[in-house]
Amino acid sequence: MGLLDGLITGFARKSKFGAGAHTRCGKHAKRGRYVVDQDKLLQLEVPDLTGFKLKAYVSPLTPNRRPE
């Protein structure tokens, strides 16, 4: 450790994943346990895209179409 580590925020260790990018999915219980609430877990509903004709990328040069 250096002399200024922890004293100046510029030298503080950075988190690998960032901070605050999640929602709480449970609560802290006794003796350091964490109880996960299944109702609060993230559930993604992804449609089946087999046979879908459009591609994933849309070029910025594509002309805009207004809804009819």
Domains of the chain, residue spans: 9-40
- For the cut 70, the answer to whether the pLDDT of residue 63 exceeds it is yes
Q: Tell me the pLDDT tens digit for each residue of 1-10.
A: 555 544 555 5
User: How far from chain centre, in Å, is Cα 18?
Assistant: 10
Q: Tell me the pLDDT tens digit for each residue of 8-44.
A: 555 556 666 555 556 778 888 998 899 999 998 888 8
Q: Which residue has the higher pLDDT, 57 or 29?
A: 29
**pLDDT at residue 26, rounded to an integer:** 87
Residue 9, CA distances (Å) to 12, 43, 68 in order? 5, 37, 55
**pLDDT at residue 53, rounded to an integer:** 86
Which two tokens mark 58? 């849309």
For the chain, the farthest-separated pair of C-alpha atoms sits apart, in whole angstroms, at 66
